[in-house]
């Protein structure tokens, strides 16, 4: 069965419009029609009904659609495996990592790990912490790095490190010695507070803040690296893990005023794994030795 005919059928089934399908496939509309007709002839059944310029899937088309997706995915996976083999890769290994962890870990630790395993095709999936444990349990990834502890009985959770939460603001025109004291209440009342870029601490922290300073204006920014950039652009202030702002604080691109309204929390990072082979054991051992402070 011709691969291109099935790809054409899949796009046509998803758009129910041969013109739109031709645009997505970069084919002429007559070519789309020919592919569908040839596929119908090979299958011995109609896949589409065409009435008054409207296209709908027949019952046979609805049955064939998931089969076509599965068949083309299998072909794509086989082609990918052969390309990987020709590039010297002899196996693949996939990890899922939360956006926050990707911001702090990927540029440092993973580079060295990948260099030691040039025969392995290492794939990185950026996923929210809430989904990583399920991906590990399903076998979609070999290992996960998450801001959330595991909850499944058959999943092992390995604590990596604690990260203190810091109050972070844009820089001002003063240096540390000559600048006047920073009024936390004034800062929080006169800036948007960028929230919910971490899955653990925000509800409790906002409850405590609102008891101290009612009426704080908040803005949800669900990615920590975006919150960090917004602070640099003077769009707000926030509470961020130390590891994600360490470099910017050293370089003077962000500021950490002393926060004394209440004790700020710490957050943890976990390795989530189901089956520990040699590669997983090495990854865990090496990352345990790395300093993320």
Neighbours of 65 (CB within 10 A): 17
CATH of the domain at 219: 3.40.190.290
Average pLDDT, the chain: 86
Q: Given this model, what pLDDT does residue 84 score?
A: 54
| Number of helical H runs and strand E runs in the chain | 12, 10
Residue 177 clears pLDDT 70, i.e. is over it: no
Q: Given this model, what pLDDT does residue 117 score?
A: 77
Question: Distance between CA atoms of 111 and 23, rounded to whole angstroms?
Answer: 39
Helix (H) or strand (E) holding 240: strand 237-241
Query: Pick from 86, 102, 133: which residue ends a domain?
Result: 86
Give the model confidence (pLDDT) of 244-258 as tens digits: 898 899 998 999 998
Helix (H) or strand (E) holding 231: helix 224-232
Give the model confidence (pLDDT) of 205-216 as tens digits: 999 999 999 889
Q: Which two tokens stand for residue 210?
A: 């609102």
134 with 188, same domain: the answer is: no
133 with 276, same domain: the answer is: yes
Q: What is the pTM of this model?
A: 0.66
Give the model confidence (pLDDT) of 224-233 as tens digits: 889 999 999 9
82 with 38, same domain: the answer is: yes
Cα distance from N-terminal residue to C-terminal residue, the chain: 56
pLDDT bin (cut points 50, 70, 90) of residue 176 is: low
- Do the Cβ atoms of 279 and 117 come closer than 8 Å? yes
Question: Distance between CA atoms of 80 and 95, rounded to whole angstroms?
Answer: 18
Query: Pick from 27, 62, 86: which residue ends a domain?
Result: 86
- Residue 33 lies in domain: 3-86
Is 293 domain-assigned?
A: no
Query: What phi-psi label fits residue 52: left (phi over 0), alpha (psi between -120 and 50 degrees) or beta?
Result: left
Q: Given this model, what pLDDT does residue 290 score?
A: 67
Give the model confidence (pLDDT) of 51-84 as tens digits: 877 889 999 999 999 999 988 887 776 666 666 5
Query: 227: Cβ–Cβ under 8 A, 6 or more apart, which residues?
Result: 194, 197, 221, 236, 238, 240
The SS3 call for residue 249 is helix
Longest dimension (CA), the chain: 84
Q: How many domains does the chain have?
A: 3
Most confident of 47-56, 173-182, 232-241: 232-241
Query: Pick from 86, 106, 140: which residue ends a domain?
Result: 86
Is 41 domain-assigned?
A: yes
Q: Given this model, what pLDDT does residue 175 score?
A: 59
Q: Given this model, what pLDDT does residue 55 score?
A: 87
């Amino acid at each position: 069965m011709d691969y291109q005919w099935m790809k054409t059928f899949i796009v046509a089934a998803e758009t129910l419009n041969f013109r739109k399908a031709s645009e997505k496939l970069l084919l002429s509309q007559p070519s789309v029609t020919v592919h569908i007709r040839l596929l119908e002839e090979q299958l011995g059944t109609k896949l589409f009904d065409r009435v008054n310029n409207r296209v709908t899937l027949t019952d046979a088309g609805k049955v064939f659609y998931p089969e076509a997706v599965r068949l083309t995915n299998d072909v794509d996976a086989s082609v990918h495996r052969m390309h990987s083999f020709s590039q010297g890769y002899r196996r693949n290994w996939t990890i899922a990592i939360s956006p926050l962890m990707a911001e702090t870990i990927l540029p440092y630790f993973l580079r060295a790990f990948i260099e030691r395993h040039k025969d392995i095709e290492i794939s990185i999936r950026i996923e929210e912490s809430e989904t990583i444990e399920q991906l590990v349990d399903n076998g979609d990834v070999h290992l996960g790095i998450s801001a959330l502890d595991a909850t499944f009985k058959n999943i092992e959770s390995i604590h990596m490190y604690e990260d203190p939460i810091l109050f972070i603001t844009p820089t001002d025109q003063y240096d540390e010695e000559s600048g006047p004291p920073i009024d936390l209440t004034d800062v929080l009342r006169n800036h948007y507070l960028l929230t919910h870029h971490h899955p653990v601490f925000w509800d409790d922290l906002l409850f405590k803040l609102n008891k101290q300073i009612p009426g704080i204006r908040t803005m949800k920014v669900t990615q920590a690296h975006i919150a960090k950039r917004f602070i640099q652009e003077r769009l707000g202030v926030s509470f961020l893990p130390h590891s994600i702002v360490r470099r910017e604080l050293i370089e003077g691109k962000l500021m950490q005023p002393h926060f004394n309204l209440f004790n700020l929390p710490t957050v943890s990072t976990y390795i989530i794994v189901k089956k520990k082979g040699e590669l997983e054991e090495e990854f865990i051992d090496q990352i345990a030795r790395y300093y993320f402070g």
